[in-house]
Amino acid sequence: MRCRRGLDRTIRISVPQVGSGGKHVYWLLPSHTGPSDVSEVDQILDASGLTCPLPLLKAKQALNKLETGAVLEILCTDSSSVRDFRVFSEQSGHPLLKSEEEEGHYTYWLKKA
């Protein structure tokens, strides 16, 4: 398990999954609290096959329709989305609860601020 403290006072934990062929799960957590509960997803957005900037644009549109505190799960295949969603979260104030990559498929959980 590797941990890194970022400038924004968050902790990024990369956990390789045993027997998963290289799958890693990334948790982005406030440094002063425990793991966020992302078991409850309010809406799922499938942006698979779309390229930059469409996954982020579709996510922004979906977030605009959600209530404050709702969790949006985004599924996509664009590798540049990793940076896009991290930066979007930092700039917009919508917390990125979880980021996961498995064999070219990316999943993000954003909580509407």
Q: Hey, where are the domains in the chain?
A: 34-111
CA–CA separation, 61 vs 55, rounded Å?
10
Angle between helices 81-92 and 54-65 (to 10 degrees): 40
> Domain 34-111 has what CATH class?
alpha beta
pTM across the whole model: 0.67
**C-alpha 11: how far from chain center:** 14
Whether residue 63 has pLDDT greater than 50: yes
Closest to 55 in 3D by CA, of 26, 76, 41: 76
Residues acting as catalytic residues: 52
Beta-strand pair 71-76/43-47: parallel
Mean pLDDT is lowest, of 34-43, 54-63, 89-98, for 34-43
| Start-to-end C-alpha separation, the chain | 29
Calculate mean pLDDT across residues 97-109. 94
Q: What are the tens digits of pLDDT across the range 26-53? A: 444 443 333 345 568 999 999 999 999 9
